[in-house]
Structures are given as C-alpha cells and as structure tokens.
C-alpha cells in the first residue's frame, strides 16, 4: 500500500523536526514525511533527507510553493513562526493561506499547532494586563487561537494541537537559571506557586505523529499536550538535584517580568500571568495521560533535564 504523505511545515525546527523524525523512524512505515524548508541545502535539511524524508523547497509566504508542498499529501502539520518576526498579523495571514490551500488540496487531516486565544477569558483592555499591539493580551497566543477559525471556516479536517512551554527554553531562549547577586543560580519566572505545563519540544512532534496515526478520532478536537506540570519551585529543586548546583526559584510579579526589556518580555509577562491566573483552566486543557498515549516516549521534566543537563548554559 502506498505510504500516506504528511507535509511538515517548520520541518527543520523544533516541533516539525520532531514530527519528521517520528514519522521516519516508525518501523510500520505507514507514513512518509515531506519536509518543507526554505533552504534545502542547509545542514538541518540534509539531516532530514538522510532519514529518508522527502525534502521540498518552499516558503509559507509563497502560496505556489505551499500548494506544491500539499499536492498529493494525505495530511499536513501546520505551524507559524512568531519569534522570527513578532507579528500576529503575519501569523493570521499565513494560516489563512494554509487553510485555503489545505482545502483545495483535499487534505484528509491537518494538525495545527495552536495555543489559546487569551482574549476569550480576558477581554482586551480589562485592566488585568497591558494591551499589546493594540488588540492583544498575548500576541503569540492570541493570533494562533484566532487562527483556529480559518480551518473551521474552510471545512478542513483539523486537529487543534494545544502545545505547552518548551523546556528547551532553558537552553535556547535565555530562560535558564542565572546567577543572582549572591552568586546562587536563580530560576526566575512570574508563576508564583502555579503549575506550568511544559514539554520537550521534540515530544510535540511525536505527539502530533500519534494524532496522525490515530486517524480521524481527533479531527475537530482540541488536543492539549504536556510532558509534565511542575511548579517553578519543583523545577528549581529538580535542577538542583540534576545539575548538581543549587538553583533557587525566584518568583517575580508579572509586571517585573514585563519590565525585563528583552524583545517579547511584555508578551511573555502577559503569557505567564495568564497561565498563573487561569492555572486550573490552562492545566485542565492539557492531558498528560493522553499525551503519553499519543507518544509513549513522552519525557517528564526530570527525564528531559537528565538528558539535556550539559546543554543548559549556566552563568
């Protein structure tokens, strides 16, 4: 039987890369990854090709290349790239194109990597948190949640994959523990005592593959995934044990975090505030047991940290 092709957007990235590797390493061989990249000759693209994935050059801003990438595919993993451009409008426009082309290609299953539109719980301008870019609370969340409607409007069979905070942010995103004035490492997050759903970025792709393999049962549903929901204090305690250096949890107020001044600090400050203030709803929208069923290799925080401890930059 012919393999079912899954077109993977963001294939050289964290989420999409995990999916390509999950597809290509499945001994059942039921699916074939078609990896979209803007740079087919890059090292990352070559590494994907070495797994047997089809690598196809294209850009989600170029509709012709995206249509070519969807042509003849069974399904697609759709994702946007907020931190490359900081534009929710760009995400909205890209998803509109993805949904339109998914429909015209007759895709049977799209997995859309999304997040909550926080404006459904926190009306913009309510005073709870600053309004950003004129109409958002958390721009990189809100535009994704709003974009869910594009797939619905086009009638594309879609699973809405609600992702979680990458633990890889402690390696790549500057969120790892930093030495305080007293010389002790501090993990600074504006989460108080609330639980923070998190996941290894690679596991998002593996969970997405579980959704594709499950077939139609998750079409039309939001599937929330996480590898664990530790508090800041619990993560600091795990870091202390696994890294062999004392790491203290340093909970700060969201307004302090927003004021840190790095690009996106206000967006992330609002994001953490939302996760803190709506801990029950945010955690409740993510299902650890389901995540494990979709991806039996799912890592919890301890496992992920033990495997990645050498990669955490420590001041």
Ligand X SMILES: NC(=O)c1ccc[n+]([C@@H]2O[C@H](COP(=O)([O-])OP(=O)(O)OC[C@H]3O[C@@H](n4cnc5c(N)ncnc54)[C@H](OP(=O)(O)O)[C@@H]3O)[C@@H](O)[C@H]2O)c1
Closer to ligand X by Cβ: residue 89 or 246: 89
Joined together, the tokens standing for residue 6 give 């899954």
- Tell me the helix, strand and coil percentages in the chain, rounded to 5: 45, 15, 35
What is the nearest approach in angstroms of ligand X to the Cβ of residue 31?
A: 19
The residue whose Cβ lies closest to ligand X is 13
* Smallest separation, CB 37 to ligand X (Å): 4
- Which is nearer to ligand X, 13 or 254 (by Cβ)? 13
Q: Which residues bind ligand X (CB under 6 A)?
A: 10, 12-16, 36-39, 42, 45, 59-61, 79-84, 140, 163, 165-166, 169, 173
Shortest distance (Å) from residue 281 CB to ligand X? 17
CB of 82 to ligand X, least distance (A): 4
| Nearer to ligand X (CB atom), residue 133 or residue 245 | 133
Token pair for 284: 């409740």
Q: Which residue has the tokens 């996106």?
A: 264
Q: CB-wise, 38 or 128, nearer to ligand X? A: 38
User: CB-side exposure of 8: number of CA atoms within 13 Å?
Assistant: 33
Query: Toward ligand X, which CB reaches closer, 18 or 75?
Result: 18
Instruction: Tell me the sheet residues that pair with 6.
Output: 33, 75
Q: How far is the CB of 45 from ligand X (least distance, A)?
A: 6
Question: Contact, 247 vs 236, CB < 8 A?
Answer: yes
Q: Tokens at residue 267, please? A: 């967006």
The 3-state DSSP class for residue 185 equals strand
Contact 50, 70 (CB under 8 A): no
């Amino acid at each position: 039987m012919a393999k079912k092709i899954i077109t993977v957007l963001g294939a050289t990235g964290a989420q999409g890369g995990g999916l390509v590797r999950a597809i290509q390493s499945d001994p059942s061989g039921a699916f074939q990854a078609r990896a979209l990249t803007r740079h087919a000759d890059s090292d990352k693209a070559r590494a994907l090709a070495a797994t047997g994935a089809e690598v196809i050059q294209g850009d989600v801003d170029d509709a012709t290349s995206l249509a070519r990438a969807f042509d003849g595919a069974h399904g697609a993993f759709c994702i946007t790239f907020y931190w490359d451009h900081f534009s929710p409008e760009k995400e909205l426009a890209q998803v509109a194109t993805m949904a339109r082309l998914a429909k015209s290609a007759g895709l049977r299953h799209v997995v859309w990597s999304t997040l909550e539109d926080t404006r459904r719980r926190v009306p913009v301008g309510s005073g709870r948190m600053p309004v950003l870019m004129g109409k958002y609370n958390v721009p990189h969340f809100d535009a994704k949640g709003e974009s869910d409607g594009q797939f619905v409007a086009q009638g594309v069979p879609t699973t809405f994959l609600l992702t979680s905070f990458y633990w890889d942010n402690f390696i790549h995103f500057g969120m790892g523990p930093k030495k305080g004035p007293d010389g002790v490492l501090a993990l600074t997050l504006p989460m108080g005592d609330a639980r923070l759903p998190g996941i290894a970025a690679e596991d998002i792709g593996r969970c997405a593959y579980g959704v594709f393999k499950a077939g139609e049962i998750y079409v039309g549903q939001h599937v929330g995934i996480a590898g664990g929901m530790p508090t800041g204090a619990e993560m600091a305690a795990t870091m202390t044990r696994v890294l062999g250096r004392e790491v203290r949890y340093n909970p700060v107020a969201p307004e302090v975090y927003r004021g840190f001044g790095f690009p996106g600090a206000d967006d992330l400050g609002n994001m953490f505030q939302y996760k803190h203030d709506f801990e029950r709803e945010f955690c409740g929208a993510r299902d650890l047991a389901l995540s494990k069923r979709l991806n039996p290799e799912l890592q919890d925080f301890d496992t992920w940290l033990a495997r990645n401890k050498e990669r955490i930059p420590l001041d």
